[in-house]
Amino acid sequence: VQLQAFGGGLVQPGGSLRLSCAASGITLDDYAIGWIRQAPGKEREGVSCASRRDGNVLYADSVKGRFTISRDNAKNTVYLQMNNLTHGDTAAYYCAIPPGCWRISADQVMGVPLYRGQGTQVTVSS
């Protein structure tokens, strides 16, 4: 199983980025999908999770209303649209395949991932 995230970069506060994650060796339609981020010196956050079938989509409180997770099963790809970015969004972002989506805390919306891909760095700076 390989999950390769890309689309990160340097963006100014208030800007937008769209991350993509291409999967191979696994059919995303069979699983819940999610995005994790980790900044230096901070706990890992499970920022977004979408269930396989029931339409359940969860976001961490810190990104609610600004981030949108989606999937294209035909392309076996997951996306994370990030709008109105702030300095606090600076982190390495990883796509993940969790066992399911549920709210563990304000900043954790998935179980421990079954698979986690290589990350892409997002830096928000003026």
Smallest Cα–Cα separation from 111: which of 58, 69, 64? 58
In the chain, the amino acid numbered 1 is V
Residue 98 has which token pair?
A: 């969790």
Give tens-digit pLDDT for 6-51: 999 999 999 999 999 999 999 999 999 999 999 999 999 999 999 9
107, 115 contact by CB (below 8 A) = no
User: How far apart are the C-alpha atoms of 49 and 110, rounded to whole Å?
Assistant: 6
Q: How confident is the model at residue 4 (pLDDT cuts 50, 70, 90)?
A: very high
Radius of gyration of the chain (CA): 13
| Dihedral pair phi/psi, residue 115, rounded to 5° | -140, 145
Give tens-digit pLDDT for 63-109: 999 999 999 999 999 999 999 999 999 999 999 999 999 999 999 99
pLDDT at 53: 77
Q: How confident is the model at residue 55 (pLDDT cuts 50, 70, 90)?
A: confident
Question: Hey, is 20 helix, strand or coil?
Answer: strand
pLDDT for 54 beyond 90: no
31, 97 contact by CB (below 8 A) = yes
pLDDT at 52: 85
